[in-house]
Chains A and B, each alone.
Chain A
Amino acid sequence: MDLILVNLIDGLVTGLLLFMLSAGLTLIFSMMGVLNFAHASFYMLGAYFAYSISLALGFWMGLLIAPLIVGVAGAMVERYGLRRVHQYGHVPELIFTFGLALLIEELVQFIWGKNQMPYDVPDILNFTAFAISGNSIPAYKIFMIFISVGIFIGLLYVLTKTRVGMIIQAALSYPRTVEALGHNVPLIFMGVFGVGTALAGVAGVIAGPVLGTFPGMAFVLGSIVFVTIVIGGLGSLWGALVASLLIGWITTFAKSYNIEMESILNGIGIATPENMDDNMFRDFWSLTSPQIADILPYILMVLILIFRPAGLFGKRTQ
């Protein structure tokens, strides 16, 4: 029972982190129709910038400044790269972000080298907040939860309650009309792209110390972010939240409990074959849930796409 509570907290941390990435991605998608493959690369940039800044000015300044730099970099990419490619259509746009992801990884290796960076949790947060039957919950995790919940509430407030949010929402569905009303739609696009990448930057800053700051960190997270927004429904903020938490909890619980394929199969009435060694499916029989925990989201995505192509919260198209 205690372990369930601990796992719920761990899954929440993973899920919220994923949400900070997928929120930006889904915003950018719903506005511009671009699946930004380089999104996780901005997450990586966030971690690296924050590390460099934290060496000189400490962790907190890193948390403050790094996302701003990442956001500006993102806006520049939109202004001078994507906007140019936009005229060619969606596939070139997508491929542009794909190439950009490769380029950013190379650039990071060029500047910071190929090693792991010793980017650490600040001392002030480096203690155990509380323990549940021997399982300590680091204070930093609580801090991560607060930051991401704060950002979600802020985002929701800006999008639904402020004038800027109204214009953004309108521009999402009717860009031409909004433009005709005298708003600068390209500027809004640039702003949304900048904010989206800055969110990814924040995620990088706070995830870098716990998940490691290394050149492969974008690749590890890259496609799972897509999976999240596809499951949640492209363009839906709530969908992104639900899907992030769902993935966070599914993977955490699958890793925590050793559910064996053998017992599942036995449970539904299939007997274990006598001679396992030369059985074609021997690897299938010996599967355990921790082994496949990280590919479960992909299975979920394929199933959802087959049965409900618009995703959990997506609007039905056509």
Chain B
Amino acid sequence: MKNITKIGAVSALSLIIGASAAFAETIKVAFIDPLSGPFASTGTNGLHQFEFAADYMVNQNGGLLGGTQMEVVGFDNKISPKESLIQLQVAIDQGIRYIVQGNSSGVANALTEAVDKHNRRNPDSRVLFLNYAAVDPALTNDKCNFWHFRFDAHADMKMDAVTDSITSDSSIDKVYVIGQDYSFGKAVSAAANKFLGEKSDTIEIVGDELHPIGKVKDFTPYSRKIVASGANAVITGNWGADMLGLGKSIVENGYSGPIYTYYAAGSGITAAFGETGKGAIRLVGEGQVNPPPSDEAAAYYTAFKEKYPDGNVDQTRISNTIGMLAKAIEEAGTADDVVAVANALAGMEYDTIWGGKVMMRESDHQAIQDLHIFEHTNEGIDFPYDNSEYGVRVIKTIPMASADIETTCEMKAPS
């Protein structure tokens, strides 16, 4: 009995998988990120931005290599490394040669190793891994490989920018560092300690702690400590519900200084912060939205909002990823030979519509670009997030941030 069930089930399965593998007249990009579960909102919004970027920047301009269209295919990895590897295999079987992923450095680590092993073991179906948001520094340092490209600045580079901003503000002399108890939270804490120690003698770190990730129901005790410590700046790497909970709790319990953070915009968080976060939340990131850096950028954002009224362009690097991939494919003259495309990507300089340049460093495949410090506000916002009146506005720009940051990467080109 079980065999019959199994045969029936698996034949259905191979039909489904096989159906889409038969033809490949478009250049496909596999988007492997959570589309269900607790992180689905970030994932779904990211997929929309990728689909829009491919459509707006490539397909509406006549496609690539003389008319081939680009298609972004979503794969739901449920933010699980195991599922990501399964979906990677499915994507490769469908003839997809470009993988994009960004949510969770844990998944990115699993994927970059799996891609490296796959490419070594199967030279006929090699793939590139374009990482648009996983910021663990190790990915372009110890764990770097030829197939991985990162289009976001990594955690250390962002912390470099944050600490620049803090040291240039003379009113700040006590900093409190708090984060989630996992690799990223620890990396943020280590980087904050390192850079503040190097850059300033007067700033004191009055607190440095970790809390369990995704398990804290009430942040009040932490905010009490922060208020009691007399800190006048807080640095945190929190994201999602942990960011919202921490941020709101700190402000509501009497703290009045800035909160420097990485991820506190879009996906409902901007709307949920609302008035509470005004003047408190400061973010570091690439890609200026307010004020719009160019007419092109404004047109891009407006077109996006027309298509996705509930969405945000909160990851401008997504359009850079698509733009740079398209440029590399044109330069290589092929979309099938990923080694040629990778060689074209490495060292590429790209003029982004969000202002400035993006340079893909050859030595570690890390993008170097302008970083900005944004503030959460409702003043001077042309493009608010979450259909609220709030958005993020640039208050400081660091051109080509950390362009000379060291890397331990030993890039090995495939033989």
Among the stretches A169-177, A211-219, A268-276, A309-317, the one at the interface with B is A211-219
Q: Which of A3, A113, A255, A293 has the most chain B CB within a 10 Å cutoff?
A: A255
Q: Which chain B positions have C-beta within 8 A of A14? A: 217-218, 220
The number of A-B residue pairs with CB atoms under 8 Å apart is: 118
* A299 to B38 CA separation, bound complex (whole angstroms): 26
Q: B193 interface residue, CB < 8 Å from A?
A: no
Minimum Cβ distance to chain B for residue A293 (Å)? 8
User: With A115-B267, A212-B241, A294-B215 given, is the CB distance from A252 to B221 under 8 Å?
Assistant: yes
Partner-binding segment picked from A25-33, A79-87, A130-138, A147-155: A130-138
A258 to B229, CA, bound (A): 13
Assess whether A109 is interfacial by the CB under 8 Å rule.
Answer: yes
A115 and B212 within 8 A (CB): no
> B211 an interface residue at 8 Å Cβ cutoff?
yes
- Asked if A128 and B388 sit within 8 Å, CB to CB, the answer is no
Interface pair B41/A115, CB less than 8 Å apart: yes
* A114 lies within 8 A of B252 (CB): no
**CA of A116 to CA of B45 in the docked complex: distance in angstroms?**
14
- B220 x A116 contact (CB < 8 A): no
Distance in Å from the Cβ of B128 to the closest Cβ of chain A? Answer: 29
Residues of A within 8 A of B245 (CB): 211-212
Report which of B181, B212, B222, B224 forms a contact with A6, defined as CB distance below 8 A. B224
Q: Which of A212, A221, A224, A295 has the most CB of B within 10 A?
A: A212
A290 at the interface (CB under 8 A from B): yes
- CB pair B217–A221 under 8 Å, yes or no, is yes
CB-contact partner of A255 in B222, B244, B274, under 8 A:
B222
Interface membership of B254, Cβ < 8 A: yes
List the A side residues contacting B227 at CB < 8 Å.
134-135
Asked whether A256 is an interface residue with its Cβ less than 8 Å from the other chain, the reply is: yes
Q: Do A215 and B38 touch across chains, with their CB atoms under 8 A apart?
A: yes
Contact B38 A118 (CB under 8 A): no
Per-residue CB proximity of A261-293 to B under 8 Å, as 1/0? Answer: 000000000000000000000000000101111
- Give B373-415 interface residues, CB cut-off 8 Å to A: 386, 388
CA distance A115 to B387 in the complex (A): 12
B325 close to chain A: CB less than 8 A? no
B119 to chain A, nearest CB (A): 33
Task: Say yes or no: is A117 at the interface (Cβ < 8 Å to chain B).
Answer: yes
What is the 8 Å Cβ interface bit string for chain B, positions 311-335, against chain A (1 contact, 0 not)?
A: 0000000000000000000000000
B214-248, CB under 8 A of A: which get 1 and which 0? 11111011101101100000000000010011001
A288-B268 contact, Cβ under 8 Å, with A215-B38, A216-B241:
no
Interface of A is mostly: helix
Interface size class of chain B, counting residues whose CB lies under 8 Å from the partner chain: 35 or more
- Using A131-B254, A138-B252, A211-B218 as known contacts, say yes or no to A117 and B272 having CB atoms under 8 A apart: yes
Within residues 258 to 280 of chain B, which ones have a CB less than 8 A from any CB in chain A? 267-269, 271-272, 274
Asked if B44 is an interface residue, CB under 8 A from chain A, the answer is yes
Closest chain A residue to B35 by CB distance?
A: A114
> Which of B212, B252, B272 is the one whose CB lies under 8 Å from A212?
B272
B38 & A116 in contact (Cβ 8 Å cutoff): no
Neighbour of A256 across the interface among B224, B271, B274, B388, CB < 8 A: B224
Q: How far is the CA of A288 from the CA of B222 in the complex (A)?
A: 13
The smallest beta-carbon distance between A111 and chain B, in angstroms, is 14
Known: A114-B44, A212-B241. A288 touches B212 (CB 8 A): no
Tell me, yes or no, whether A124 is within 8 Å of chain B by CB.
no
Roughly how many angstroms separate A224 CA and B212 CA in the complex, as a whole number?
14
B253 within 8 A of partner (CB): yes
Complex Cα–Cα for A134 and B252 (A): 12
Bitwise, B173-210 to A at CB < 8 A (1) or not (0) is 00000000100000000000000000000000000011
User: Is B90 part of the binding interface, using a Cβ–Cβ cutoff of 8 Å?
Assistant: no
Check if A7 is an interface residue, CB within 8 A of chain B.
yes
Give complex CA distance A252, B228 in Å.
15
CB contacts (< 8 Å) of A288 on chain B: these are: 209-210
Q: Which residues of B contact A221 (CB under 8 A)?
A: 217
Q: Quick one: given A135-B254, A212-B245, A256-B225, are A294 and B216 in contact (CB under 8 Å)?
A: yes
Asked if B268 and A291 make an inter-chain contact with CB atoms under 8 angstroms apart, the answer reads no
* Shortest Cβ gap from A212 to chain B (Å): 5
> What is the chain B residue whose CB lies nearest that of A9?
B220
Most B C-beta atoms less than 10 A away, residue of A115, A117, A211: A115
B138 within 8 A of A: no
* Complex: chain B residue closest to A113, CB-CB: B41
Distance of A217 Cα from B218 Cα, bound (Å)? 12
Chain B residues within 8 Å of A10, by CB: 218, 220-221, 224
Contacts of A292 in B (CB 8 A): 212
Within the complex, the shortest CB–CB distance from A217 to chain B, in Å, comes to 8
Would you call B40 an interface residue if the criterion is a C-beta within 8 Å of the partner chain's C-beta atoms?
A: yes
Contact present for A256 and B211 (CB under 8 Å): no
A residues in contact with B215, CB < 8 Å: 220, 294-295
* A117: contacting residue among B217, B248, B249, B268, CB under 8 A: B268
Chain B residue contacts of A114, Cβ below 8 A: 38, 40-41, 44
User: A118 to B210, Cβ gap below 8 A?
Assistant: no
A116 lies within 8 A of B212 (CB): no
Q: Given the complex, which residues of A lie within 8 Å of B181, measured CB to CB?
A: 291
Whether A258 and B252, one on each chain, are in contact in the complex, defined by CB atoms closer than 8 angstroms, is: no
7 shortest interchain CB distances as A-B pairs: A115-B268, A255-B221, A114-B41, A116-B268, A136-B254, A216-B38, A116-B272
20 further interface pairs, Cβ-Cβ under 8 Å (given A7-B221, A135-B227, A212-B272): A10-B221, A13-B220, A109-B40, A114-B38, A114-B41, A118-B274, A118-B386, A135-B228, A211-B218, A211-B245, A214-B38, A214-B268, A220-B217, A220-B241, A224-B217, A252-B220, A288-B210, A290-B211, A292-B212, A294-B212
Q: What are 9 residue pairs bridging A and B, where the CB atoms are less than 8 Å apart in the complex?
A: A14-B217, A116-B272, A118-B274, A120-B274, A214-B38, A252-B220, A290-B221, A294-B212, A295-B212
